[in-house]
Amino acid sequence: MNTKANTTLIEIKNFDFLIGKWNVQNKKLKERLKNCNEWIEFPAKMETKPFLNGLGLMDEMKSSHFGDDFIGFSIRMVNPKTNIWTIYWADTSSPENYLKEQVVGEFKNGIGAFYGKEKYKGKEYKLRFTWKKQSENTALWEQAYFDEKATEWETNWTMKFTREN
Protein backbone atom coordinates (compact mmCIF):
# COMPACT_ATOMS: atom_id res chain seq x y z
CA MET A 1 0.00 0.00 0.00
CA ASN A 2 1.33 3.45 -0.90
CA THR A 3 1.85 5.36 2.37
CA LYS A 4 2.27 8.72 0.61
CA ALA A 5 -1.13 8.39 -1.11
CA ASN A 6 -2.80 7.48 2.21
CA THR A 7 -1.22 10.51 3.93
CA THR A 8 -2.55 12.77 1.17
CA LEU A 9 -6.07 11.40 1.64
CA ILE A 10 -5.92 11.86 5.41
CA GLU A 11 -4.96 15.54 4.98
CA ILE A 12 -8.11 16.29 2.95
CA LYS A 13 -10.38 17.50 5.73
CA ASN A 14 -12.21 20.50 4.27
CA PHE A 15 -15.70 19.08 4.87
CA ASP A 16 -14.94 17.10 8.06
CA PHE A 17 -16.84 19.70 10.09
CA LEU A 18 -20.02 18.46 8.41
CA ILE A 19 -19.72 14.83 9.57
CA GLY A 20 -22.52 13.91 11.95
CA LYS A 21 -26.22 14.60 12.52
CA TRP A 22 -27.71 18.06 12.06
CA ASN A 23 -30.86 20.09 12.50
CA VAL A 24 -31.17 22.37 9.48
CA GLN A 25 -33.07 25.64 9.33
CA ASN A 26 -33.78 26.45 5.68
CA LYS A 27 -34.58 29.91 4.34
CA LYS A 28 -35.57 29.98 0.68
CA LEU A 29 -36.59 33.03 -1.37
CA LYS A 30 -40.25 32.81 -2.40
CA GLU A 31 -39.27 34.01 -5.90
CA ARG A 32 -35.80 34.00 -7.39
CA LEU A 33 -34.34 36.77 -9.55
CA LYS A 34 -37.42 39.00 -9.08
CA ASN A 35 -36.10 41.40 -6.41
CA CYS A 36 -38.10 39.42 -3.84
CA ASN A 37 -37.45 39.85 -0.11
CA GLU A 38 -39.97 37.27 1.12
CA TRP A 39 -38.41 34.13 2.59
CA ILE A 40 -39.98 30.73 3.23
CA GLU A 41 -38.54 28.96 6.26
CA PHE A 42 -38.68 25.25 7.04
CA PRO A 43 -36.79 22.66 9.10
CA ALA A 44 -34.92 19.57 7.94
CA LYS A 45 -32.64 16.88 9.35
CA MET A 46 -29.35 15.83 7.79
CA GLU A 47 -26.71 13.19 8.43
CA THR A 48 -23.26 13.27 6.82
CA LYS A 49 -20.85 10.32 6.64
CA PRO A 50 -17.35 9.98 5.15
CA PHE A 51 -16.35 7.26 2.70
CA LEU A 52 -13.19 6.14 0.84
CA ASN A 53 -10.93 7.20 3.75
CA GLY A 54 -12.16 10.79 3.58
CA LEU A 55 -11.93 11.12 -0.19
CA GLY A 56 -15.66 11.74 -0.16
CA LEU A 57 -18.65 12.51 2.01
CA MET A 58 -22.29 11.68 1.50
CA ASP A 59 -25.33 13.04 3.21
CA GLU A 60 -29.05 12.64 3.25
CA MET A 61 -31.35 15.53 4.10
CA LYS A 62 -34.99 14.92 5.03
CA SER A 63 -37.88 17.38 5.25
CA SER A 64 -41.65 17.28 4.94
CA HIS A 65 -41.76 20.88 3.64
CA PHE A 66 -42.20 19.86 0.01
CA GLY A 67 -45.39 17.89 0.66
CA ASP A 68 -44.43 14.22 0.61
CA ASP A 69 -41.42 13.30 2.65
CA PHE A 70 -38.56 14.93 0.74
CA ILE A 71 -35.13 13.33 0.67
CA GLY A 72 -32.11 15.08 -0.82
CA PHE A 73 -28.83 13.20 -1.30
CA SER A 74 -25.42 14.68 -1.98
CA ILE A 75 -21.99 13.25 -2.58
CA ARG A 76 -18.86 15.37 -2.26
CA MET A 77 -15.68 14.02 -3.83
CA VAL A 78 -12.23 15.60 -3.68
CA ASN A 79 -9.30 15.30 -6.04
CA PRO A 80 -6.48 14.81 -3.50
CA LYS A 81 -3.86 16.22 -5.89
CA THR A 82 -5.66 19.54 -6.45
CA ASN A 83 -7.94 19.73 -3.37
CA ILE A 84 -10.80 20.55 -5.77
CA TRP A 85 -14.20 19.22 -4.71
CA THR A 86 -17.11 18.17 -6.92
CA ILE A 87 -20.58 18.08 -5.38
CA TYR A 88 -23.26 15.80 -6.81
CA TRP A 89 -27.00 15.98 -5.97
CA ALA A 90 -30.21 13.96 -6.35
CA ASP A 91 -33.59 14.25 -4.65
CA THR A 92 -37.03 12.70 -4.51
CA SER A 93 -38.77 15.78 -5.97
CA SER A 94 -37.06 15.23 -9.35
CA PRO A 95 -35.85 11.61 -9.44
CA GLU A 96 -35.70 11.72 -13.25
CA ASN A 97 -32.58 13.90 -12.90
CA TYR A 98 -30.67 11.09 -11.19
CA LEU A 99 -27.38 11.96 -9.51
CA LYS A 100 -25.95 15.00 -11.26
CA GLU A 101 -22.79 17.02 -10.92
CA GLN A 102 -23.85 20.35 -9.51
CA VAL A 103 -20.84 22.47 -8.53
CA VAL A 104 -17.02 22.34 -8.38
CA GLY A 105 -14.70 24.35 -6.15
CA GLU A 106 -12.40 24.55 -3.17
CA PHE A 107 -11.84 25.94 0.30
CA LYS A 108 -9.74 29.04 0.89
CA ASN A 109 -9.29 30.57 4.34
CA GLY A 110 -11.97 28.27 5.77
CA ILE A 111 -14.68 29.18 3.25
CA GLY A 112 -15.70 26.83 0.45
CA ALA A 113 -16.79 28.40 -2.86
CA PHE A 114 -18.25 26.11 -5.52
CA TYR A 115 -19.53 27.05 -8.97
CA GLY A 116 -21.67 25.46 -11.66
CA LYS A 117 -24.80 26.03 -13.70
CA GLU A 118 -28.43 25.21 -13.00
CA LYS A 119 -31.66 25.44 -14.98
CA TYR A 120 -34.38 27.47 -13.33
CA LYS A 121 -37.71 28.13 -15.04
CA GLY A 122 -36.29 27.07 -18.41
CA LYS A 123 -33.17 29.26 -18.31
CA GLU A 124 -29.65 28.32 -17.30
CA TYR A 125 -28.03 30.40 -14.55
CA LYS A 126 -24.57 30.52 -13.02
CA LEU A 127 -24.78 28.82 -9.64
CA ARG A 128 -22.68 29.32 -6.50
CA PHE A 129 -22.59 27.36 -3.24
CA THR A 130 -20.76 28.74 -0.22
CA TRP A 131 -19.90 26.55 2.78
CA LYS A 132 -18.57 27.80 6.10
CA LYS A 133 -17.95 26.17 9.46
CA GLN A 134 -19.10 28.76 11.99
CA SER A 135 -18.25 26.84 15.18
CA GLU A 136 -17.85 23.24 16.34
CA ASN A 137 -21.65 22.90 16.38
CA THR A 138 -22.81 25.25 13.62
CA ALA A 139 -22.30 25.64 9.88
CA LEU A 140 -23.78 27.72 7.06
CA TRP A 141 -24.54 26.91 3.41
CA GLU A 142 -25.73 29.48 0.86
CA GLN A 143 -26.90 29.08 -2.71
CA ALA A 144 -26.90 32.00 -5.16
CA TYR A 145 -27.71 32.59 -8.82
CA PHE A 146 -25.90 35.21 -10.86
CA ASP A 147 -28.40 37.88 -11.89
CA GLU A 148 -27.14 39.11 -15.26
CA LYS A 149 -29.44 42.16 -15.23
CA ALA A 150 -28.18 43.36 -11.86
CA THR A 151 -24.69 41.90 -12.53
CA GLU A 152 -24.51 40.45 -9.02
CA TRP A 153 -25.11 37.23 -7.10
CA GLU A 154 -28.54 36.81 -5.53
CA THR A 155 -28.57 34.50 -2.52
CA ASN A 156 -31.80 32.51 -2.84
CA TRP A 157 -31.41 29.75 -0.26
CA THR A 158 -29.56 29.43 3.04
CA MET A 159 -29.23 26.56 5.47
CA LYS A 160 -28.08 27.02 9.04
CA PHE A 161 -26.84 23.78 10.56
CA THR A 162 -26.91 23.05 14.28
CA ARG A 163 -25.35 19.81 15.44
CA GLU A 164 -27.71 17.33 17.14
CA ASN A 165 -26.77 16.47 20.72
pTM above 0.75, yes or no: yes
Residues 6+ apart with CB under 8 A from 115: 103, 104, 105, 126, 127, 128, 129
**Is residue 125 classed exposed, middle or buried when 0-12, 13-18 and 19+ CB atoms within 10 A define those classes?**
buried
For 31-57, what is each residue's pLDDT tens digit? 999 999 999 999 999 999 999 988 999
* DSSP labels, 43-101: EEEEEEEEEGGGTEEEEEEEESTTSSPEEEEEEEEEETTTTEEEEEEEETTSGGG-SEE
Gap between the Cα atoms of 89 and 80, Å rounded = 21
Name the amino acid, one letter, at 69: D
For 56-100, what is each residue's pLDDT tens digit? 999 999 998 766 788 999 999 999 999 999 999 998 887 677 888
Gap between the Cα atoms of 138 and 3, Å rounded = 34
